[in-house]
Amino acid sequence: MTNYFYDGKTREFLRSAPAQPDPGTGDPLPALLAVHIAPPETEGKQAAVWNGEAWDIVEDHRQHVNEQGVKEGGTPYWLPSEGDDYRSPERYMDDLGPLPAGAVTTRPEKPTPTLDEAKEAAVARIDKETSEAILAGFEYEMGPGTGSAESLHFSYDSFDQQNFADSANVALLSLNASPQAEGLPTSVTWNAYRNHTPEGGGELVRLTLDPQGFLALYTGGALAHKAAKMEEGGRRKAAVAAAETVADVESI
């Protein structure tokens, strides 16, 4: 005889083990939460459940915990009737049984936006990308004191933008021989980076610039960089405004 054990809560089949015989009669001893009737064979996403008299085959869409204690498997599903859309995380069953009425097992598709919605989203995306491009800094060719000019990278985040503007005011005061220029520094030390990459940064280069040199960097480098990125963003937004289809908008 064999004992077929089932879960005390879900009553699903767990495991089998030889039944212990009664020493006197040889009959199998009863076991807690076990029967001597073998469960039927089940396929994927099914479980055998004891109903008190026989085994039923029940759908099983739950996730199960593996040997590492991580949930895996199961049937992901969504309920559009309850507001699930393409952004919603997948759901999983906690109990045995079929999926809820109205469940779908393929993530809902992203709805096609109207032309106005696509344009609004594109403008927001372009503004974000323009801002990121400005803040990423710029390349400017100048002599770092090595005897030859080279292309160096300059930071242009919000902090450095303010530093550029403040230092440009000081440089202008110095050049104009303004009374306010008395006591102001006649040069500025500025950081640049050689062989710069967004991922790894670059080699720090310390520059000492007189007022003329700094203003050339400010106007020809920083301001020109910002203006170019703004002009590019403006062109893209004009193209969005002129677009006649969603596909055209999304390609800009």
Residues 6+ apart with CB under 8 A from 208: 145, 187, 188, 189
CA–CA distances in Å: residue 145 to residues 171, 205, 206, 213, 252: 20, 10, 10, 12, 42
pLDDT at position 180, please? 55
pLDDT in tens, 74-132: 999 999 999 999 999 999 999 999 999 999 999 999 888 999 999 999 999 999 999 99
Evaluate if residue 63 carries a pLDDT over 90. yes
Question: Using one digit for the tens of pLDDT, what is the confidence trace for 66-76?
Answer: 989 999 999 99
Name the percent of the chain lying above pLDDT 70. 96
Please state, in angstroms and rounded to a whole number, the distance separating the CA atoms of residues 237 and 252: 9
Joined tokens for residue 18: 């030889």
CA distance linking residue 128 with residue 61, whole number of Å: 42
| Closest among 74, 68, 138 to 105, alpha carbons compared | 74
Mean pLDDT of 48-54: 96
Query: Which letter does DSSP use for residue 86 in this model?
Result: T
pLDDT tens per residue, range 179-196: 555 667 788 999 999 999
The yes-or-no verdict on residue 146 having pLDDT over 90 is: no
Q: What pLDDT is attached to residue 182?
A: 66
Could you tell me which residue, 25 or 144, shows the higher pLDDT?
Answer: 25
Strand-pairing partners, residue 49, are 12, 56
Determine the Cα–Cα distance for residues 205 and 66; give it in Å rounded to an integer. 54
Q: How does DSSP assign 118-165, residue by residue?
A: HHHHHHHHHHHHHHHHHHT-EEEEE--SSSS-EEEEE--SHHHHHHHH
Q: Give me the mean pLDDT over the 45-63 stretch.
A: 97
- Cβ(46)–Cβ(62) below 8 Å: no
pLDDT in tens, 200-239: 899 999 999 999 999 999 999 999 999 999 999 999 999 9
**pTM surpassing 0.75?**
no
